[in-house]
Structure 1
Amino acid sequence: MNKAVFLDRDGVINEVKTKRVKFVNRPEDLYILDGVPEAIKKLNKAGYEVFVVTNQGGVGLGYMTEEQLDEIHEHMAKELAKQGAHLTEIMACTHAPHENCYCRKPNPQMLLDLIEDYDIDIMKSYMIGDRDPDIEAGNAAGIKSLMVTDTTPEAYKSFENLSEATDWILEDEKA
Structure 2
Amino acid sequence: MTKKAVFLDRDGTIIVDYGYVHKPSQVELLPGIIEALVTLKKLDFELIIISNQSGIGRGYFTKKDVDLVNAHLQSLLKAHGIELSGIYYCPHSPDDRCDCRKPKPALILQALKDHGIDPKHSYFVGDKWTDVQAAIRAGVPPVLLSKEHTISMNTIPVLIVDSLLEWTKLIDQGDM
User: Does the pair score TM above 0.5?
Assistant: yes
Q: CA RMSD in A?
A: 1.5
1:155 to 1:77, Cα distance in 2 relative to 1, 3 A: farther
Q: 2:10 matched to which residue of 1? A: 9
1:96 to 1:22, Cα distance in 2 relative to 1, 3 A: closer
Native 8 Å contact 1:147 1:155 kept in 2: no
Q: Which runs of 4+ in 1 moved over 3 A?
A: none
Following TM superposition, by how much is the alpha carbon of 1:38 offset from its aligned partner in structure 2, in angstroms? 1.4
Native 8 Å contact 1:40 1:86 kept in 2: no
Following TM superposition, by how much is the alpha carbon of 1:75 offset from its aligned partner in structure 2, in angstroms? 0.2
Give the alignment's TM-score, normalised by structure 2. Answer: 0.91
Structure 1: gaps spanning 5 or more residues: none
Number of residue pairs matched by the alignment: 170
Q: 1:121 matched to which residue of 2? A: 118
Structure 2: gaps spanning 5 or more residues: none
- Give the counterpart of 1:158 among 147, 157, 160: 160
Q: Deviations over 1:51-100 (max 9, x none)?
A: 00000000111111111110000000101111222211011000111111
Partners in 2 of 1:27 and 1:58 — Cα distance? 15
Give the alignment's TM-score, normalised by structure 1. Answer: 0.91
Native 8 Å contact 1:131 1:147 kept in 2: yes
- Give the counterpart of 1:73 among 41, 53, 70: 70
Task: Give secondary structure in 1 for the equivalent of 2:117.
Answer: coil
1:64-103 correspondence to structure 2 within 5 Å: 64-103=61-100
1:5-84 correspondence to structure 2 within 5 Å: 5-16=6-17, 21-84=18-81
Following TM superposition, by how much is the alpha carbon of 1:169 offset from its aligned partner in structure 2, in angstroms? 2.8
Q: Deviations over 1:108-155 (max 9, x none)?
A: 000000111111111110000100000000011111100002444245
- Give the counterpart of 1:105 among 102, 105, 124: 102
Following TM superposition, by how much is the alpha carbon of 1:22 offset from its aligned partner in structure 2, in angstroms? 3.8
Partners in 1 of 2:69 and 2:62 — Cα distance? 11
